[in-house]
Amino acid sequence: MARIIDSSAAVQSREIVINSTLKNTYLLLSMTLLFSAAMAGLSMAMNWPYLGIIPTLIGYFGLLFLTSKFSNSALGLLFVFALTGFMGVTLGPILSMYLTSLPNGGSIIMTAMGGTGAIFVALSAYAVISRKNFSFMGGMLMAGILVAFLLGLGAIFFQMPMLSLAVSAMFILLMSGLILYQTSEIVHGGETNYINATVTLFVSLFNLFTSLLHILGIMDD
């Protein structure tokens, strides 16, 4: 009887941790999305120039490292907002370019935003409701993201637009898989740090949005 009670208590405790992580992750994700959007709007309003690929990568990976390093402390929250705000600043000039260079730039941005939101809600809801375990996707996603990242750098440095388009399509699939994977990790207790979970989901949404934006922009142009 004592073992049954202990087992039941352990299950309840685990569910409390899972629900808390899920709630805190979505709350922090909402706040960082709003903050990033505000920084993108500020960047557009101030007409800040694009930083360039090298400074962007240095800033991104540097802040990502600091966020991960301090994810178990209050400093982690500071670096989460620093990272997402920085990504918003880098997004501002890209959005300005779409608005000024394409006649349907505004509708393209809104379509990409709506598509990103719909994909995220659908995949997150599926992972939470079905409670399927997608942990098996971890290794494949890591390898796929690395390959896509390297191909993306090659497309930029060697000016290969068709490869760039293919990389955007790859990132849409990979980021969709990453949303499923990360949400599943939270649901099954594999990820209990809501700061790390938030960063993963934010990066997934950011790359999903920019990839959709790229594809829609090329189709319109």
Domain that holds residue 171: 2-220
Q: Which are the contacts of 107, defined by CB distance < 8 A and separation ≥ 6?
A: none
Q: Any long-range contacts for 136-145 (C-beta under 8 Å, 24+ apart)?
A: 137/177, 137/180, 137/181, 138/181, 140/177, 141/174, 141/177, 141/178, 141/181, 144/170, 144/174, 144/177, 145/174, 145/178
**pLDDT at residue 203 in the model:** 96
**pLDDT at residue 2 in the model:** 47
pLDDT tens digits along 87-136? 999 999 999 999 988 888 899 999 999 999 999 999 999 999 988 999 89
Angle at Cα 71 formed by Cα 70 and Cα 72, nearest 5°?
A: 90
Residue 26 clears pLDDT 90, i.e. is over it: yes
Token reading at 82: 């620093």
To the nearest whole number, what is the mean pLDDT of the chain? 89
pLDDT tens digits along 59-84? 999 999 999 999 898 899 999 999 99
Q: Which are the contacts of 170, defined by CB distance < 8 A and separation ≥ 6?
A: 144, 147, 148, 151
Q: How many domains are there within the chain?
A: 1
Contact present, 208 and 172 (Cβ < 8 Å) = yes
Residue 14 clears pLDDT 60, i.e. is over it: yes
